[in-house]
Structure 1
Amino acid sequence: MTKILSKADIMAANDLKTETVEVPEWGGSVIVRTMTGLDRDQFEASMIKEDVGGKRQPDLTNMRAKLVALTVVDESGDRVFEPSDIDALARKSCEALDRVYRAAQKINGIGASALDGAEKNSEAAQSGDSGSV
């Protein structure tokens, strides 16, 4: 039988994984980390926008740069990029950006289903269902 975790056990767990990704276009490597729950929520929320009529629609603008900015960290685990860096990061080589983006997708379990999930959550919010427990 496995141990039933306490709040202290959960809070003390070092559960953020990292992966080093070689980026030859940038002349070195970057460290990609799993997102926190808050990071994931921010990323998914950034993929949705409201149109003029108030209906929520997918917004894939700077999707790669947003995920890279949220997941690339330094050796201390601190984010390398600020939200204000996203537009400049989006102007970097698509080859390099895709390389890091794919690693971030993989380590965070993100694929096409992530956007689908965000869309479903926005639809639930529009219908008045908060989706909370």
Structure 2
Amino acid sequence: MMIPDGAMGAADILGADDVTIEPVTVPEWGGRTVLVRGLSGTERDDWEASIRQLRPSLTKKGEQEIVLNQSNARAKLLVKCIVNAEGGRVFTDQQAPALGRKNGKALDRLYDVASRLSGLSDEEEEAIEGNSETTEGGDDSPSSSPESSDAPEPSS
């Protein structure tokens, strides 16, 4: 296989500035601006794990299936994506329940931006909306994991 000239190496990839932050005006919160950034790979994995649960299959005895735990899924994403002017998180994961009690229209607006910046697929978004079927898996399926206890990331 021929490697093209200019192909990126590890240092190039790790050094690339690939963080996208977008300001979002929230009329429900006095017209103030909230900064939203896309998830890192690790944050996306943590978020996906927080909304999936492994349970015994309802249709296949002895097997397990993955189901979505849609409870507060938007706020669980937003606590990872709302940042300050330096790009550091303003919420901890543990603050998702409190954020989830805020205005649904405002959260939906921010969620739409966060999901777009994070590259969430239409299927993932439809699943959060409750429009998808249960996904089945065998014993090698990922199990649900408790929500990460990460504190806000320090600004860099």
For structure 2, the 5+ residue unaligned runs are 58-63, 128-133, 143-156
The corresponding residue for 2:89 is: 79
Whether the aligned pair in 2 keeps the contact of 1:34 and 1:71 (CA below 8 Å) is yes
Q: Cα 1:114–1:2, aligned 2, differ >3 Å: closer, same or farther?
A: farther
Counterpart-to-counterpart distance in 2, 1:2 and 1:23: 45
Counterpart-to-counterpart distance in 2, 1:52 and 1:128: 13
The corresponding residue for 2:12 is: 9
Q: Deviations over 1:58-104 (max 9, x none)?
A: 11110110111111110111001101110000100001111101111
Q: What is the CA distance between 1:112 and its match in structure 2? A: 3.6
For structure 1, the 5+ residue unaligned runs are none
* Alignment of structure 1 residues 39-50 onto 2, 5 Å: 39-50=43-54
Equivalent of 2:112 in 102, 116, 123? 102
Q: Which is greater in Rg?
A: 2
Bigger mean CA deviation after superposition, 49-58 or 6-15: 49-58
Question: What TM-score comes out, normalization by structure 2 length?
Answer: 0.71
Whether the aligned pair in 1 keeps the contact of 2:66 and 2:141 (CA below 8 Å) is no
SS at match of 2:8: coil
Question: What TM-score comes out, normalization by structure 1 length?
Answer: 0.82
Q: Between the two proteins, what is the percent identity of the paired residues?
A: 34
When the two chains are superposed, the root-mean-square deviation of aligned CA atoms in Å is 2.3
The corresponding residue for 2:60 is: none
Counterpart-to-counterpart distance in 1, 2:38 and 2:141: 29
Code of the aligned partner of 1:30: V
Q: What is the CA distance between 1:51 and its match in structure 2? A: 2.9
Counterpart-to-counterpart distance in 2, 1:129 and 1:59: 16
Counterpart-to-counterpart distance in 1, 2:108 and 2:43: 20
Counterpart-to-counterpart distance in 2, 1:112 and 1:88: 27
Q: What is the CA distance between 1:12 and its match in structure 2? A: 0.7
Counterpart-to-counterpart distance in 2, 1:58 and 1:107: 21
